[in-house]
Amino acid sequence: MSQELVYERGVEDAKQFARILYVAHALTFFFSAGMLSILVLLVNYVKRPDTAGTMVYSHHTWMIRSFWWYAIWFAIATVIFFTFIGIPIAWAIWGLAWIWMAYRIIRGFLDLNNNRPMPV
């Protein structure tokens, strides 16, 4: 078996695993507003070095950055929530952050399926 075939199989396996991670991120955001996504994030960090030099690496980076930006906006909204006037603003930020995260997950999943790397 040639090295090229082994490499292609490895990339396909990495792509399939990245698909599973996108689905896992989506499920955790749907069922726990992202709180359980920290577990999936850890898997992203562990698996990302294995994909160095492939377009799958950019997808792991995309998921990692998406999580941290979502976490920052979620934390800001939580702080704002504790002021009386900030309650509607906090709900708006949470909603926008959730929609933004949904977009990032869907876009990443679709680009992965179309063999396109994510912008870094």
**What is the pTM assigned to this prediction?**
0.86
Domain annotation covers residue 41:
yes
DSSP for 51-117, written as a single string: GTTSHHHHHHHHHHHHHHHHHHHHHHHHHHHTSTTHHHHHHHHHHHHHHHHHHHHHHHHHHHHTT-P
Which residue range(s) make up the domain with 109? 3-113
Mean pLDDT of all residues in the chain? Answer: 89
Domain annotation covers residue 57:
yes
Question: Percent of the chain scored above 70 by pLDDT?
Answer: 92
Domain annotation covers residue 119:
no
Higher-scoring residue by pLDDT: 119, 4: 119
Amino acid at residue number 112: L
pLDDT digits (tens, 9 = 90+) for 21-54: 999 999 998 888 777 889 999 999 999 999 999 9
- Total tally of structural domains belonging to the chain: 1
Domain annotation covers residue 56:
yes
Query: Could you tell me the pLDDT band of residue 9, with boundaries at 50, 70 and 90?
Result: low
